[in-house]
């Protein structure tokens, strides 16, 4: 496990920079993580992030694109608009969750 310093805080991350302890996450950190990948969070981003975190708490895994569309109410096309190119992976990163299963 690697430790990274972000916003003056030491955080546990994996080799790709995903938090390994989701309890270290907060909304201020999300803003910084989003900025790291060139995103400015809007209300729709926050809705996706909050759903992803609650879904993770219930299911112990990061939601897939399909889950975001069916249970989270964020259509796949919109996910690609909000989190371009690799939406599930970028959402998990910003939400402080592990990389979704199946993401490369």
User: Which residues are known to be catalytic?
Assistant: 103
- Give yes or no for a contact between 53 and 46, defined as CB atoms under 8 angstroms apart: no
- Give yes or no for a contact between 50 and 56, defined as CB atoms under 8 angstroms apart: no
- Give yes or no for a contact between 41 and 34, defined as CB atoms under 8 angstroms apart: yes
Other C-beta atoms lying within 10 Å of the C-beta of residue 46: 13
């Amino acid at each position: 496990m690697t430790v990274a310093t972000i916003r003056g805080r030491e955080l546990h991350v994996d080799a790709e920079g995903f938090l390994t302890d989701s309890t270290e996450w907060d909304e201020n950190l999300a803003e910084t993580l989003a900025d790291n990948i060139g995103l400015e969070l809007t209300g729709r981003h926050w809705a996706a992030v909050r759903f992803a975190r609650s879904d993770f708490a219930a299911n112990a895994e990061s939601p897939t694109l399909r889950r975001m569309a069916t249970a989270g109410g964020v259509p796949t096309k919109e996910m690609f608009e909000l989190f371009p190119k690799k939406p599930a992976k970028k959402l998990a990163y910003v939400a402080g969750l592990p990389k979704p299963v199946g993401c490369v």
